[in-house]
Structure 1
Amino acid sequence: MNSNTIRFHAITSNDDRNIANGMRNTSGTPLSESEIAFVKSEIRRIRADEDIFIFNDADHLRDSACYNFEDDKIYVTRNVFPDELYASAHPRDIMSVGAVLAHVYYGHRHYRQEYLSDWEKGKDYHTTPPWQDECRASLTAAQIAPGLTEMDKRYLVLDAVYRAKEFGQLIEMNDFMKETVFGYSSNERKITRDIEQPKYVSEESLKRDQADGAYEHKVSKMRQFSRDYDDFER
C-alpha cells in the first residue's frame, strides 16, 4: 500500500457478516463503461469535481477505492459498489456508491492539509489516528456532502459508530448523529450543524466501571486524542 493514500476499508475484519469486514464488492475486475457512467452520475449527485476521480488504474484495480492526498486524486475501484453476494447487513457494505464517494471526497479530502502536514513530519506521524480519521471521514461526509439521501447519511453515521466499536471504543452521539439515526426533527430539538469532533468511550473502561459497581448512568471517558497518532499507512 502506498503510504500517501487513504483507502476505504475496515480497520479490522470479522467473519460475522453482521459485524462485517466492510469489503463490499472485491472482485477486482475493471469497471465497465456503463458502470463508470453510473459512478460519474453519483459524483455529480454529490457535486464533487469529476477531474479528481481516476477509473481502472492498473496499480489500483485489486485495491479499495482510495484518496492520494499528495496528488489530490481519488482512485475508483469496484469496491465502490455494495456487497450483493453475501447478504451483509453492515452499513459499510451496503451504503450507496454516492455515500462511499462522499466518505472519500468530503470526508478525507476535506482534511488534505492535515495529511500533507503530517507527511512532512514523517510517514508514521498522524495528527489524527487512523481509526478516528475513518470515523471522522464518515461523520464529516454525512454532515457536509450535498445530494446525499437520508439513508446515505444514516449509513455513514452508523459506519463511524461501527468503526469505533471495531477499535474497542464507543462514540457518544451528538445531536446531529441522533437526528440522522433516530429521526429527531429540527422542530423537536435544536440540532447543531457545526462539524464536531466525536467523543469516544473505551469499552474496556466501561466494563471495569460496571464490574466495580461504579456505573450509575455515567461512563468513564477516554481522553480525546489530538496529537501523536500512529499505526496507519497512507
Structure 2
Amino acid sequence: MKKGWMAGALLPIVLFAGCQNKTDHRANVSSSKPPVSTQSSATASAASSATSAVPGTYFSTQEVADICGKAQTAYMANQYDTAMNLANQAIASDSQCFQAYNIKGAAYYFQNGNTVADKALALINQSLAINPNYDYGYFNRALIYKGLKQYTQSIADFQKNIAITPTAAWAYYGIATIYADTKQTDPALSYLQKAINLDNSIKQTAKEQNHWDNLRSNAAFQALVN
C-alpha cells in the first residue's frame, strides 16, 4: 500500500548497502515503514549485503554484523518483534552498536505508531549519541517527527541526512512531501526535482502517493513525473 509519506502514519533503505531501496517502505510514511539502514552510506563500500559487513569497520565483530543483518531482514519483512529481539542481541554483544539502536527504534515505531514515539525517538537518539554522523539515524528520526506532524524538526533532520550524504534522494523526497502536504507548491516541486534527479524511480512514487493530490493538474508537477 502506498498512501504517502506519513499521510497518516509512516518510507525504503537497504541495511548495509548504504542506500535506500525501492520497496514499499520507501516514502510511505503513512502505512509503510521507512528506510532503515544500519550502516552509513559513507561506508557503503565496506559491505555489499546484510551479512557481509566488514568487522572492525562499523561493527565490533562479524557476529554483531550478522545479527544486525538478520534484524534488518526481519524489519523489512514487517517482522518487528523479531527485528527488535535481534537488535537487543546485538546490543547485548556490543552496547555501542548504534545500528541496532536505530533499527530497534524504527521497528518499535512502525509496529506501534505515535503512541510510542517518545520511546522510539529515545532509541534513535541513543544511536546518534554514539555516532553523530549516522545519516540514517537522522533519516529515521525525521520520519518519526513527520508522523507526529512536527514538520520543522522533520525537515531539520532530513537536512542533516543530506548534509552527511548529499545523494540521499529519499531525504529530499521527504522534505518535498512535507511541503506538498502543507500546500507550499514551489518548495515542494523544487525538492521533488532534486529527489528525482538523484533517483528516477521517485517519479512513480510521486504518481502514486496522495501527498501530491493537490498538484495532480499542476503543469510543473506533470512535467516532473512524466
TM over 0.5: no
TM-score normalised by the chain length of structure 2 = 0.30
- Tell me the TM-score normalised to structure 1 length: 0.29
Which structure carries more strand by proportion? 1
Flag the structure with larger Rg: 1
Higher relative contact order (CA 8 A, sep 6+): 1
Structure number with higher helix proportion? 2
